[in-house]
Amino acid sequence: MSTQKVIIHTDGGSRGNPGPGAAGYTIDDAGGRRLAACGFFLGKVTNNYAEYTAVGKALRHAQRIGARHVELYSDSNLLVQQINGHYKVKSDAIRPLYQRCMEILNSFESWRIIHVPREQNTEADKLANLAMDAQHDIDQTPGALSGKTVRLGILLSGSGRTMLNLHHEIAAGRLNAKIVRVISSRSTVVGVQRAREIGLEPVVIRRKDFADVESFSTKLAQELDTAGVDLVVQAGWLCLWHIPPHFENRVMNIHPALLPAFGGQGMWGHHVHEAVLKTGCKISGCTVHFCTNEYDAGPIIIQRACEVCDDDTPDTLADRVFEQECIAYPQAIALFAQGRLKVQGNIVKRLL
């Protein structure tokens, strides 16, 4: 997509200054067609940091869609005056954001930034507040759920929390997908009951009922094929299976650490979090990746990070990492549904 001129509205704010903050923006073409409507949760920031982040993200988006002329509106008089050169940027924290915004602005053929009252900037304000309320990024761009409805096959071995998160995202209209098959490797886990509670009858396929991994894998693939699954989503799945060629780059997994660290055989659940704490890491997080027939070695799609606190236990760290998992997995599936993931070797590139 490319467009000659875009009209951008941005807003950012924090509750506490500093406090939980977010940025929001809309982008329209010269004819008024909505090209983007996005909100981004930023964590603990100041109002001014959020305002500049909104401008920077909006300008980068405009670059990506090929805009040549930019007209930008903000209700932050300070930001507008600084970008127009009337006020100096005195804050050391804001200066790099300001410099980056100026670099991007000067890459366009023409640009101008205009101050508007808050009542003329309500859509960007709403997007920032929605992201603050949700504490994760949002995308309300028309057609953001474009592409076919991707048919998901869920593989689980435990509580089914990840399955429930995906179900909620689908029900809320934020993920263009449908769960068409749930397979559990165990008959008595909570995930089996949770699947039934949301109207999905799980199929139990236990590894111990098969002579070898090949026959086990064949049965799994047959069940997934019968259901017409587009994408296999491993959601706390603990069984090795051999992925057949026709499912290459169609099986995702989420790992509770920042791969390639803390991955491999035996590294799952609390084993991962215990290892992170033992090594004294200050950052952990989660990784969504395509699966290969080697543990945790497939191409990385998305990673999200979180802080490791000095008083963390494996349980408290697991809770914080799972918050990031609830964001990352739907995002990865949405990119797949939109046809925006291209695998080159062991690298995943996201297409615009």
Token pair 């980068």 is at which residue? Answer: 60
Backbone angles phi, psi at 274, to 5 degrees: -65, -40
- Cα torsion 71, 76, 77, 80 to 10°: value is -40
Q: Which two tokens stand for residue 8?
A: 């951008």
- How does strand 69-74 pair with strand 34-45? unpaired
Please, which residues have CB within 8 angstroms of residue 151's CB and are 6 or more apart in sequence? Answer: 177, 178, 180, 227, 228, 229, 230, 231
Amino acid in position 127:
L
Which residue, 263, 251, 324, 337, is CA-closest to 297?
A: 263
Backbone angles phi, psi at 286, to 5 degrees: -140, 160
Which residue, 147, 125, 166, is CA-closest to 254?
A: 166
Q: Which of 9, 61, 136, 255 is catalytic?
A: 255
9 is annotated as an active-site residue = no
Q: How far apart are CA 128 and CA 294, in angstroms?
A: 41
Q: How far apart are CA 253 and CA 260, in angstroms?
A: 14
List, in sequence order, every residue forming a beta bridge with 28; answer none if it has no partner. 7, 34
Catalytic machinery residues: 255
